[in-house]
Amino acid sequence: MGKINRDLLTSINNEINNFYENVFRSIYKLLQPLEYFDNQLLTIVERLNHICQWSSIVKVIIRLSRSKTSSGRSFQDTLIGCLLSKSYLPSTAGKPFLFFEKAKSMSDRDIEMTTTTMWQVGII
């Protein structure tokens, strides 16, 4: 009876694990194109924060966030890496900078005003 229970629990755990792996892969795909200041990014982070109160779910996220290679760029291609790599800089070459595009030509006052605006809208 013990072996049957262990086998059944292992099967259930594998199914739950596979379910969450699929969920987190889908979340990763949603996160990839989002910019740092995107409201949808904040919503996803809030939901991830909520479900991370269960250690078993955190373990799945961590396991899925292990880089396949030793390249730093490959870590960016994981759920945690994708979240940590979000920046004010454009996500791809050629996209315009939304803030401080021409920082060298900005006055101290312009830089201060831009920074204040970023704080006010919750971007920083």
State the pLDDT confidence band at 29, using cuts at 50, 70 and 90: very high
Q: Indicate if 66 and 34 belong to the same structural domain.
A: yes
**Which residue matches tokens 């889908």?**
26
- Number of other CB atoms surrounding residue 103 within 10 Å: 11
Together in a domain, 41 and 98: no
Owning domain of residue 98:
88-124
Q: Are 72 and 99 members of one domain?
A: no
Give the residue, 73 or 9, on which the prediction is more confident: 73
pLDDT for the residue 30: 92
Q: pTM (2 decimals)?
A: 0.66
Stretch 86-98: mean pLDDT, rounded?
Answer: 71
Locate 75 and state its tokens.
């870590």
- Over range 58-65, report the average pLDDT: 88
For residues 93 and 61, the model is more confident at 61
Give residue 10's pLDDT: 67
Examine the domain organization and report whether 94 and 77 are in the same domain. no
22, 75: one domain:
yes
Q: Rounded distance, CA 34 to CA 100, Å? A: 19
